[in-house]
Amino acid sequence: MDDVVDLLVVKVGGSLVSEKARRDHLDHDALAGYAAQIADLHAAAPGRVVLVVGGGSIGHGAVRHLDADDPLAPLPLTRATFDVKWSWVRALRDLGSRCFPVQVAAICVLGPRGPEVSFGTVRRLLDHGILPVLAGDSVLCADGALRVFGSDHVPAVAVRGTPGRTRVAVLTDVPGVLAGGPGSQEVIPEITPGSSAEAFRRIWPAAAHDTSGSMGGKLTALLDHARDGAECFVLRGDPTAPDLRFLLEGRGRWPDVPHTRIVADTTG
């Protein structure tokens, strides 16, 4: 557990910087707080951090009502999530952070076994100490149609492109996968594919305005990342926290922060 993390993928959930039920809403003050944490984390570990940002109400609004007969119907998601990425890039640049917005559809297609990734661009950005900023996108499938590839699934771009020890940390508005339903603060400490059925049983349905499946969608994606070899965590985000550097440390050196760990097995 105290091994060095070769690559840390931090996903900042859209619910932390946006009210998903509001049209095209983005909380720039909250975003600035999280951007400061990410800039500090990147400064502490240049070349070892990737940022994934949730689309919030802007991203969800772009795919809420799609024409099932149009194979390119998800295309507006590309514009929407780039606008969100650009807000993050601008905030990070204002803090002096060297960063670059990466279009997922340009480096990833969906094949029969899931994402097929061309990681060279992201790898070179990391090698030059530049922070890649990714978000959900409309991604091309084998049949020539576009499919919504939400931000919960985007860490696969890094997980599948990195041979070393990869950690995925998802910051959200709850302290982990909750054990007791809405209002509960008790979290399930660890989930594996073998124990996931019980975890899914405890997750309540997503709100109608949420197109990603809420926590159920997150857990499905994180189990996929864990099967690909990543060590994954869900924990509460706080834009006023001093820093996120503990995410690079072995879990035994973390502060007393509630979280859920998702892994392929219980070893390590």
CATH number of domain containing 179:
3.40.1160.10
Rounded CA-CA distance 41/58 in Å is 26
Evaluate whether residue 237 is within a structural domain: yes
Task: Give the number of domains in the chain.
Answer: 1
Residue 95 scores a pLDDT above 50: yes
Rg (CA), the chain: 17
Q: Is 100 helix (H, G, I), strand (E, B) or coil?
A: strand
> Which pLDDT value is given to residue 267?
55
28 or 268, greater pLDDT: 28
Is 255 domain-assigned? yes
Is 70 part of any domain?
yes
Q: Are 8 and 167 in contact (CB under 8 A)?
A: yes
Residue 199 belongs to a domain: yes
Query: Is 17 within the bounds of a domain?
Result: yes
Q: How far is CA 252 from the centre of its chain?
A: 23
Is 209:20 a contact under the CB 8 Å cutoff?
Answer: yes
Domain range for residue 87?
Answer: 7-262
Q: What percent of the chain has pLDDT over 90?
A: 74
Q: Give a yes or no: residue 2 inside a domain.
A: no
